[in-house]
A and B are shown apart, each in its own frame.
Chain A
Amino acid sequence: DAKTTQPPSMDCAEGRAANLPCNHSTISGNEYVYWYRQIHSQGPQYIIHGLKNNETNEMASLIITEDRKSSTLILPHATLRDTAVYYCIAGYGKLTFGQGTILTVHP
């Protein structure tokens, strides 16, 4: 898996958009960009994934740069329940987790 780099922590106000960046400059052609989040003592929850194109689902949007070396996860209207550790992973099949970003959504 390509190594990913994420900021260790971020804050966001409730109701505002949360934009979480991720660098994956060594990503290879067949590797996807995956985003998961984990709330304490639970398994990771799938959020979204993409290969080249931007993706959107009911939870979030994923913006991947044209050179695929970085991406941004966007939670359009953050709520307190979005407080979690967010993991960005570049891989195919076997996924290697980094340290992630602790997102804290405050009132």
Chain B
Amino acid sequence: GAVVSQHPSWVICKSGTSVKIECRSLDFQATTMFWYRQFPKQSLMLMATSNEGSKATYEQGVEKDKFLINHASLTLSTLTVTSAHPEDSSFYICSAWDRGNNEQFFGPGTRLTVL
């Protein structure tokens, strides 16, 4: 399957700082990418839909001012967790949608720990 990368794979930060996570589609151009987060022993929860060249669409209950999404190119979407707090500690996963083949591939995830 296609490769989607994420950077960094893990990050530890202090409370109040901002953290940027990158998601890259390496094998195809993705006009749409998605961001999920996963808490321990739970399933993936969709946070937002990232559309190239337009504003992201956020799921109910997800603060758009706290989780800033930028999809500036067809191969890169970024998620910035602003003013992070310990409750934001989670596993953040992105996916890239290959519309032509109706396939969606996931990145390896980024483990965020906020102290």
Q: Is the CB of B103 within 8 A of A44?
A: no
Q: Give chain A interface residues in 22-49, CB to chain B under 8 Å.
A: 32, 34, 36, 41-46, 49
Shortest CB distance A39–B (Å): 11
Interface size on A, residues (CB 8 A): 21
Shortest CB distance A72–B (Å): 20
Query: How far, in whole Å, are A45 and B45 apart by their CA atoms in the complex?
Result: 16
Q: Is the CB of B106 within 8 A of A43?
A: yes
B114 within 8 A of A: no
Interface size on B, residues (CB 8 A): 25
Q: Is the CB of B1 within 8 A of A41?
A: no
A94 within 8 A of B: yes
Q: Give chain A interface residues in 82-107, CB to chain B under 8 Å.
A: 87, 92-100
Q: Give chain B interface residues in 1-59, CB to chain A under 8 Å.
A: 1, 4, 6, 32, 34, 36, 43-46, 49
Instruction: Considering the complex, give the chain A residue whose CB is closest to the CB of B99.
Output: A93
- A selection of 18 A-B contacts at a CB cut-off of 8 Å is A36-B106, A41-B109, A41-B111, A42-B108, A43-B4, A44-B44, A44-B95, A45-B1, A46-B103, A49-B103, A51-B102, A92-B102, A93-B32, A93-B49, A95-B34, A97-B43, A97-B44, A98-B43
